[in-house]
């Protein structure tokens, strides 16, 4: 049996079901048939490797996971955001940089992907699982900073990444969603 390692990116069965537009039961059946690579947490929860999900969608449909390739990527960052990355992204129209909770209210519908720093002191992660918008793809970076109970709430609808944000990470994400 494989157990989840913190450094690997994964999604819960609920997120996989949302992405594939199927029920959680269908995702569980796909896992049982070996169609999606998974890890099992110490708590016996199934976590699907995100790259396996991307490959499955591409193989079966020939399409990207995301339809709107022209949308901006929103980045909600903390005071620990790498300054060199901030400088590089500030004048790039492909990104909406958000450092204040009031700016979230002003987000337009062109934001389909939202990166959030797990170290943000003003985010109530447990409440977020109740108010998330289905049309937005959430990526929580620096996820090792989350408490385990918060991870459980988030992993059903968000991608958890233990890495800090970087230009390379964002570029890789953009390449993945455009495939």
Domains of the chain: 10-61 (1.10.1660.10), 72-178 (3.40.50)
Calculate mean pLDDT across residues 113-135: 80
Q: Distance between CA 128 and CA 74 in Å, rounded? A: 16
Pairing of strands 38-40, 46-49: antiparallel
pTM score > 0.75 for this model? no
Q: Distance between CA 44 and CA 113 in Å, rounded? A: 29
Using DSSP's 3-state secondary structure scheme, residue 178 falls into helix
pLDDT > 70: what percent of the chain? Answer: 83
Calculate mean pLDDT across residues 51-78: 73
Q: What is the pLDDT of residue 130?
A: 65
């Amino acid at each position: 049996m494989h157990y989840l390692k913190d450094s690997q990116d994964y999604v819960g069965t609920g997120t996989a079901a949302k992405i594939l537009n199927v029920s959680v039961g269908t995702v569980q059946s796909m896992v049982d048939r070996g169609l999606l690579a998974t890890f099992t947490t110490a708590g016996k929860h199934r976590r699907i490797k995100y790259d396996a999900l991307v490959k499955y969608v591409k193989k079966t449909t020939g399409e990207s996971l995301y339809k709107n390739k022209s949308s901006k990527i929103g980045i909600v960052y903390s005071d620990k955001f790498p300054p060199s990355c901030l400088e590089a992204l500030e004048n790039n129209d492909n990104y909406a940089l958000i450092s204040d909770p009031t700016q979230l209210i002003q987000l337009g519908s062109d934001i389909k992907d939202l990166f959030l720093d797990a170290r943000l002191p003003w985010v109530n992660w447990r409440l977020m699982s109740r108010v998330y918008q289905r049309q937005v793809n959430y990526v929580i970076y620096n996820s090792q900073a989350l408490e385990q109970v918060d991870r459980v709430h988030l992993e059903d609808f968000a991608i958890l990444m233990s890495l800090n944000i970087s230009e390379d990470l964002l570029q890789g994400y953009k390449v993945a969603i455009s495939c």
